[in-house]
Amino acid sequence: SYPKSQNIAIVDNIGGDVKFRSQAVKPQRELAPGECLVKMVCSGACHTDLHAVDGDWPIPPKMPLVGGHEGVGHIVAIGENTFNSPVKVGDRVGIKWLANSCLNCEDCRKGREQNCSKAALSGYTVDGTFQEYVLSWVYHVTPIPDKLSSHEAAPILCAGVTTYRAIKNSETEAGDFIVLPGAGGGLGHLAVQYARVRGLRVIAIDTGKEKRDLCLSLGAEKFIDFKTSKDIVAEVIAATDGKGAHSAVVTSSSSTGYTQALSYLRAGGTLMVVGLPPDATIPASVFFTVFRSQKILGSYVGNRQDAAEALDIAARGQVKVHHKVVPLNSLKNVYDGFKAGTIAGRIVLDISG
Ligand code: 8ID
Ligand code: ZN
């Protein structure tokens, strides 16, 4: 059993302030087959949550909106007549960006659940994890390995899964060079580590002493400060035996992170498009894309298998989330931190102890 009402963090309209109020929780008897209710312990805050509040992407979010898509909690109820549930009441599970999908269309069958036309997106098209009780779906919640604390697991559910998949698909091998613009942020600092797990040589790009120290401590072999560097392309080329990098995974939330990427990749190199700055384009020369055999690949979060793999690597201690824990009611300060670019690693919001 669980209470009839709960505390939520909600935004009423695009660009609006975060408000905290109480709202009814869906009663057990009203849960549809396949639905479950998860009592949140904590949730990471992703830059995407700020894009949603600002409404700066081409596809608008629902409003009013409870944001959040990196949550961990315990299942407190499952809809009656749920067929073959992979989880049970009491299980600790994660809620990621992809809250639900049909599992039967061509995209789902091919493992690209993210592209399902019926996908439900946490904290975007359905209410997300910045609340005490989240309505979710048993076939899509992510079991959390016992060895990981909830606070360490939460950011893996978006930042971890996304960078794990992007690096896995970056067409690189051990010993190759990978450039990571945005390396000091939430996605980026996990990208540094997932890249190291694969034996890649990391060139981190971001700004400021805190992010520099973080990236170098996580195993980047070079850090380039995008605010003070006079020539980012030349610095990357010099750091990569004069030939350029094999891949770049851009997790910068500003379009400038993409500007030089194709110029510092070597022939045959792969640009992984991950960061989602508003109104951004990737200007690529047709001639040089062909002449240098370069690839540009969009990479969108990850499927259930990517989530299991990314969590397993973290549970074995090979990737650690650098995080600060604050209460849910500091969400507005977190958004200010994203705007100012002052968050190194991730912030995890405590929802209930
Ligand atoms: O599935 C996806 N593709 C996906 C999943 C999750 C998040 C995409 N995202 C998107 C977010 O919507 C956001 O646009 O990835 C971007 C990064 O999310 P984040 O890691 O949560 O944001 P952050 O912690 O603010 O990190 C961004 C970093 O970029 C740096 C900033 O200093 C910050 O550390 N940065 C910027 I702004 N401009 C840069 C530049 N020109 C830069 N780093 C290098 N070069
Ligand atoms: Zn995210």
For the Cβ of 128 lying below 6 angstroms from any atom of ligand 1, the answer is no
- Measure 128 CA to ligand 2 centroid, in angstroms: 11
Give the tokens for residue 30: 């009203």
Measured CA to CA, the distance from residue 294 to residue 324 in angstroms comes to 38
- Measure 35 CA to ligand 2 centroid, in angstroms: 22
- Measure 291 CA to ligand 2 centroid, in angstroms: 35
For the Cβ of 333 lying below 6 angstroms from any atom of ligand 1, the answer is no
- Measure 182 CA to ligand 1 centroid, in angstroms: 5
Measured CA to CA, the distance from residue 206 to residue 183 in angstroms comes to 6
199 by Cβ neighbours in 10 Å (0-12 / 13-18 / 19+) ranks as: exposed
Measured CA to CA, the distance from residue 268 to residue 77 in angstroms comes to 50
Pocket test for ligand 1, best of 215, 252, 271 (most atoms within 8 A of CB): 252
What's the average pLDDT block by block, 10 residues per block, for the chain (353 residues)?
Answer: 96 98 97 98 98 97 98 98 98 98 98 98 98 98 98 98 98 98 98 99 98 98 98 98 98 95 97 96 95 98 98 98 98 98 98 79
- Output the pTM of the full model: 0.98
* ipTM value for the complex: 0.99
* pLDDT for the residue 353: 52
Measured CA to CA, the distance from residue 198 to residue 195 in angstroms comes to 5
